[in-house]
Structure 1
Amino acid sequence: MIKYIVPFLIFILFIGCNEREISKKTSFGGKIINPKCSYVTLSNNSNFNDTIYLKKDNSFLGSYNKFKKGLYMFKHGPEHQYVYLEPNDSLLFRLNTWNFDESLVFSGEKAEVNNLLIEAFLQNELDEKSFSKFHNLNQRNFLKKTDSIKRLKETIINDYKNSTNNVSKEYIDILKIALLYPVYTNSEKYAIKNFSSEKPEILVDSYFDYRKDIDSTKDSLIFFGPYYNYIVNKLYNDVYLKKDNKDNFTINLLNNINSSISSEEIKNKFLYNTVIQHFFKEPNHKNINKMFFNFFKLNSDIEQKKNVQRLINDLKLLKEEEPLPSFDLVAATGNIKNISKLIKGKNTVILFKDYKYASDEWIASRTNYLMKKNTDVTFIIINLCATSKRYTKKIAIKYQYTLPNKSKVCSFSSSSFPRVILVNKKGIIKNGYTSLSSKEIESQISNLRNSK
């Protein structure tokens, strides 16, 4: 059983604050141990967004008039968590960035409700390890496991409601999402895995009955992880349930997003993310042009459309069976190297990347894996960052290059998304646009090795 209250005591001195004035406002503050940057941000999914700077002792305090009740997200460095706040609350927290989630403890008004939310988050992380195993069970045993976990979480919710006076309905709704939606999400994931298998099992008629208790129109909570994850998986399953042509899956998914999400801003984000993710999973899919056409028809965000158009323009360059154009690179030593000489007589994988659009950790993990598996293939990483000669961490520097000023290579990846090109020993492009995340990347490199 998860405990509701974690005993603690926090002493923070806020210099220059008038206590009487603060008490009339909503205040949010705390102390960061081992800070990663100089500030904390607090925001919701509408028009509230505040940056609170740390003091010399790494404490901070923000105070607000006319504060709106609801769920907020706070960020520090690369990490984030959620807090529930109401007008006139005074909520403090303390955390150590070396153990961000586990060290987070609240005090003040609404401490109990927020400690319960963080405990729900930590418990969900543990549950995910179990669910990853449950996905391999047959349907009957999977349902038994999920029902058992669901009952435990419902008990936590009911115990809290019965032991607390003046329970806010808004908070209970958020607590239900925090505790129960991860269970529902895994039910959706199990169904997706089943639907996409070669021999899908027929799901029982009552399988999706839990959906009857779910309000999937809370667009204002789309920034909340448990809610977002559920909605994404539900959108996928809705398409599978229609049993349409699998070749048109992404197009049908875009149509489902368009009809299911009312907020134009959120709808645009979903449409954009879906197109980008599906493109990089299958950049050579036969219906790729239809997918782009449908995106342009449904999306109304000009900047998102421009970036997808840049991606389409990139596809027109460096076509299959054409010679790779000659261009210069700058080695880490500062020496100029010509690409044609570097790859002469070698099967080569060339990665163009901008650190702003792909994390070093992910790029390094995928690249090092492929390099280890294909020791007879040459790998070249071209860092496209225009503002500084920044290299990708955790990849040997000898494989990495930057570009001279005003290099024509910038046009090869104008969208700035990571682009992989496969070139054979004769300098002929065998694949002009693939991706580290493509499900076919390993077979594509294998074909490159076997090409003549």
Structure 2
Amino acid sequence: MFAYFKNLLLPISSVVLCGLCSCNKEFKDDNYTAYFGGEIINPNNRYVLLLKDNKVIDSLLLDDKNRFFKKIDSLAPGMYTFRHEPEYQYVYFDKNDSIMLRLNTKEFDNSLVFCGRGDQKNNYLIEMFLKNEADRSYDVFDKDYKRFSKTIDSSYAAKKSFYLRRKTEIGWNEKFDVFAKASLDLDYLAKKEIYPIAHKRRNGEDICKVLPKNYYAFRNKIDYNNEDLTTYVDFVRYITAMLNNIAYKNCTTEKEYEQSALASNIKKLNITDTLIKNQKIKNGVLNNIAFMYLLEDQNMANNKKFLDRYFQLSTDKSKHNEIRKISSAAQLLTPGSKLPPQKFINKRNEKIDFNSIAKGKGETIVFFWTLSSKSHLEGVHKKAHDLKIKYPDLNFVGINMDDSLEDWQQTLASYNFNDTTELHATDMQKLKDEWVITKIHRVLLLNPDGTVKNAFVSLFDADFEKYLK
């Protein structure tokens, strides 16, 4: 009852507002008015974005009390996401719902609570999300088959009991149940897909030999063509796990995984084409495969073969140019190449020659940060500090990704980043495009001569230090 207990902690102002939003007003059949509002504690910026299928449909400004409220004249029932950079969560609207939320960015998911008309089903979603997150450990994949099955079956049974109880208490409709059931079942089934390949990579044992013949029977019961689930994270995560499991099932070593990257990813494209008939869902899965592959393999000949097949299958013209752009930029970041030149300034407003910073007696780690993610800002600098103690010859460069030079300088003044060289790009879009910065957690690892050693790694990878050898 985590989320429901949190309701008791809402301040009086929020309780009053929730009360206003939960009144039993009658609406005509053709009236699709909805209300959406809330309060953001410790906001990262001044906006909350409302999205449908990853497309922004409204931008909501926070007032001087960090609250927002919007009457939406016509909002179709369904699943939406709200985003307060860099975090996001789901919010489901039935017809004429009036939903308020409250959260603290320092504990975004754990602090999120909904109230108002439509609050109960949304509080259910965040509770199930937190249960799934708490249950996400790679240690379970080290177990033998019997212990693995017992562990995940026990967890699934407990969550299914919770699902059935809340479904009865709330009485949600079938449209919402598609998402409620997906968050229950697909998280569990994704573990079953991940298990064989993760067990082999972690333990060196091919567990497939002892799996029951009907182990994958559940695949036949999944609806791969429900358009409502196209961008829903539990569906996307399951599809990704299933395709990886099928494509890489014959690989036993890291070298084999690398050597089979092209063939395996083309296989993923072909499986997607055969398995998924709904073109919108198919395009979404094909796009995910393409984005992930192009950031892993910078072999030009391989990329051409992959893209030829991708363009044959994808009808999403809006993504084709973006895919081509990423592919071309990634080609310039292959091991041994020089980074495309960028213009930077340091905290003293001096123009900096990046090559002079990147060359030294040790390797250089370039990481990125933004004021919109304070937890990452502090976490990545702490990680750099810890690694600097362990590897004194490492050279760390932190590049701020915000537009405001003044905000960046004020932030640096409030921290003591002695282990890093801090820079700010003068052309942020050029930097993002040419260095293919698609996510803030990525780092660039450079050789002592300033050339690329590995352009697509994360400082928070459990095995990151192996790249330093």
Q: TM-score range by the shorter chain?
A: 0.7 to 0.9
| Amino acid of the structure 1 residue aligned with 2:117 | E
Instruction: Select which of 368, 375, 383 maps to 2:392.
Output: 375
Say whether residues 1:150 and 2:156 are aligned partners. yes
- Cα deviations across residues 156-213 of structure 1 (Å, max 9, x unaligned)? 3333444566x41222332222233222222222133135564311222232233344
Partner Cα distance (1:344, 1:445) in 2: 16
Deviation, 1:142, is: 0.9
The 3-state SS of whatever aligns with 2:53 is coil
Equivalent residue runs for 1:73-84 within 5 Å: 73-84=81-92
Indicate the residue corresponding to 1:249 in structure 2: 264
> TM-score by structure 1 length?
0.74
The question of whether the paired residues in 1 share the 8 Å contact of 2:332 and 2:340 is answered with no
The question of whether the paired residues in 2 share the 8 Å contact of 1:181 and 1:227 is answered with yes
> Higher mean Cα deviation, 272-281 or 186-195?
272-281
| Amino acid of the structure 1 residue aligned with 2:138 | S
Equivalent residue runs for 1:193-272 within 5 Å: 193-194=198-199, 196=201, 198-201=204-207, 202=209, 203-240=211-248, 247=260, 248-262=263-277, 264=279, 267-272=282-287
CA 1:157–1:363: 2 relative to 1, 3 Å: closer
Indicate the residue corresponding to 1:449 in structure 2: none
Indicate the residue corresponding to 1:138 in structure 2: 144
Deviation, 1:137, is: 1.1
CA 1:59–1:400: 2 relative to 1, 3 Å: closer
Instruction: Select which of 347, 358, 362 maps to 1:332.
Output: 347
How many percent identity over aligned positions? 24
Say whether residues 1:413 and 2:434 are aligned partners. yes
The 3-state SS of whatever aligns with 1:11 is helix
Indicate the residue corresponding to 2:421 in structure 1: 399
Instruction: Select which of 11, 31, 34 maps to 1:27.
Output: 34
CA 1:92–1:309: 2 relative to 1, 3 Å: closer
- Cα deviations across residues 364-414 of structure 1 (Å, max 9, x unaligned)? 5775566555433445566788885968988647524456889xx979936
Unaligned runs of 5+ in 2: none
Deviation, 1:236, is: 1.9
Partner Cα distance (1:345, 1:80) in 2: 40
| Amino acid of the structure 2 residue aligned with 1:71 | M
Partner Cα distance (1:339, 1:208) in 2: 52
| Amino acid of the structure 1 residue aligned with 2:156 | K
The 3-state SS of whatever aligns with 1:399 is strand
The question of whether the paired residues in 2 share the 8 Å contact of 1:66 and 1:87 is answered with no
Say whether residues 1:105 and 2:113 are aligned partners. yes
Partner Cα distance (2:340, 2:100) in 1: 58
The question of whether the paired residues in 1 share the 8 Å contact of 2:60 and 2:70 is answered with yes
- Cα deviations across residues 31-62 of structure 1 (Å, max 9, x unaligned)? 31525144433333287823334455544433
Q: Which structure shows the higher helix fraction?
A: 2
Unaligned runs of 5+ in 1: 447-452
The question of whether the paired residues in 2 share the 8 Å contact of 1:315 and 1:433 is answered with no
The 3-state SS of whatever aligns with 2:135 is helix
Say whether residues 1:191 and 2:191 are aligned partners. no
Instruction: Select which of 154, 178, 187 maps to 1:182.
Output: 187
- Cα deviations across residues 134-166 of structure 1 (Å, max 9, x unaligned)? 22211111111222222222223333444566x
CA 1:103–1:445: 2 relative to 1, 3 Å: closer
The question of whether the paired residues in 2 share the 8 Å contact of 1:26 and 1:65 is answered with yes
| Amino acid of the structure 1 residue aligned with 2:361 | K
CA 1:184–1:261: 2 relative to 1, 3 Å: same
> TM-score by structure 2 length?
0.71
The 3-state SS of whatever aligns with 1:62 is strand
Indicate the residue corresponding to 2:178 in structure 1: 173
Deviation, 1:221, is: 2.1
> Higher mean Cα deviation, 2-11 or 207-216?
2-11
Instruction: Count how many residue pairs are aligned between Structure 1 and Structure 2.
Output: 435
The question of whether the paired residues in 2 share the 8 Å contact of 1:84 and 1:114 is answered with yes
| Amino acid of the structure 1 residue aligned with 2:393 | D
Indicate the residue corresponding to 2:364 in structure 1: 349
Indicate the residue corresponding to 2:96 in structure 1: 88
Partner Cα distance (1:32, 1:281) in 2: 40
The question of whether the paired residues in 1 share the 8 Å contact of 2:19 and 2:116 is answered with no
The question of whether the paired residues in 2 share the 8 Å contact of 1:366 and 1:436 is answered with no
The question of whether the paired residues in 2 share the 8 Å contact of 1:4 and 1:112 is answered with no
Partner Cα distance (1:350, 1:307) in 2: 27
CA 1:163–1:311: 2 relative to 1, 3 Å: closer
| Greater Rg by CA | 1
Partner Cα distance (1:340, 1:3) in 2: 51
The 3-state SS of whatever aligns with 1:49 is strand
Partner Cα distance (1:149, 1:271) in 2: 32
The question of whether the paired residues in 2 share the 8 Å contact of 1:181 and 1:226 is answered with yes
CA 1:20–1:60: 2 relative to 1, 3 Å: farther
> Higher mean Cα deviation, 116-125 or 251-260?
251-260
Instruction: Select which of 41, 45, 65 maps to 2:49.
Output: 41
The question of whether the paired residues in 1 share the 8 Å contact of 2:109 and 2:126 is answered with yes
CA 1:398–1:206: 2 relative to 1, 3 Å: closer
| Amino acid of the structure 2 residue aligned with 1:140 | K
